[in-house]
Amino acid sequence: MPPVRDYVCNGDDMIEVIVKNILFFAQAATPGYTLFLQAREDEERSLPIVVGQFEAQAIALALEQISLDRPMTHDLLSEVITNMTDGLDSVVIKSLKEGTYFAELNIRQGNEIDILDARPSDAIALALRSGAPIRVARAVFEEASIPIPVTNQPESTAEATLSENVNEITQRAELQFDLEKDLREAISREDYESAARIRDRLHSLSDSKS
């Protein structure tokens, strides 16, 4: 576990990053999704951040620019920020304390910036929806980033692998959305036999990543 840190960053102390990959690690001590952020100025290292399934789906859907029929929580919050402020200026992963990352939303209000605390996964999901830059405190990146494994795969193959990872997450999110919609409709018409089958499929979908 990284040592206890509390970094203060601004200006040149921050670096801009992009979402490089989202992977599911089934063999980890705690199976789950890990998001990898790559610095634009350093393509040999990336910052891993563990995220939940819901957040991984929200980030993957934004990367693929997929909109569902009914807005997810991050879609709704993005619309609120867009319509009630002057927009999301940027998000910053500002500190690392006892292995936990802390982030903030920088929201424009006229000539001022309002700062709101946020989880990194939520902040990144919102940044991708609005096109706002994602920044990391340089000291945090230097402390917690890891080398990107060297691969002999051609670049096109590596990019295809990334696409498959993200596509798998988005496909699962869309399937889950459709099943939940079918379940509500089955219950509304009191077709409980169909509802039970749909609920079993939802449980199966959840268990396949546990």
pLDDT digits (tens, 9 = 90+) for 151-210: 444 444 444 444 446 666 666 666 776 777 788 788 888 787 888 888 887 777 666 554
Q: Where are the domains of the chain?
A: 11-147, 155-207
For the chain, strand residue ranges (E) read 14-25, 32-39, 42-51, 88-97, 100-109, 112-118, 134-137, 146-147
Q: What pTM did the predictor assign?
A: 0.69
Which listed CATH number (3.40.980.10, 3.10.690.10, 3.40.50.620, 3.20.20.70) goes with 11-147?
3.10.690.10
> Which pLDDT value is given to residue 116?
95
Helix (H, G, I), strand (E, B) or coil at 119: coil
Grouping H, G, I as helix, E, B as strand and the rest as coil, residue 27 is coil
Give residue 140's pLDDT band: very low, low, confident or very high (50, 70, 90).
very high
**164, two tokens:** 């498959």
Terminal CA-to-CA distance of the chain, rounded, Å? Answer: 24
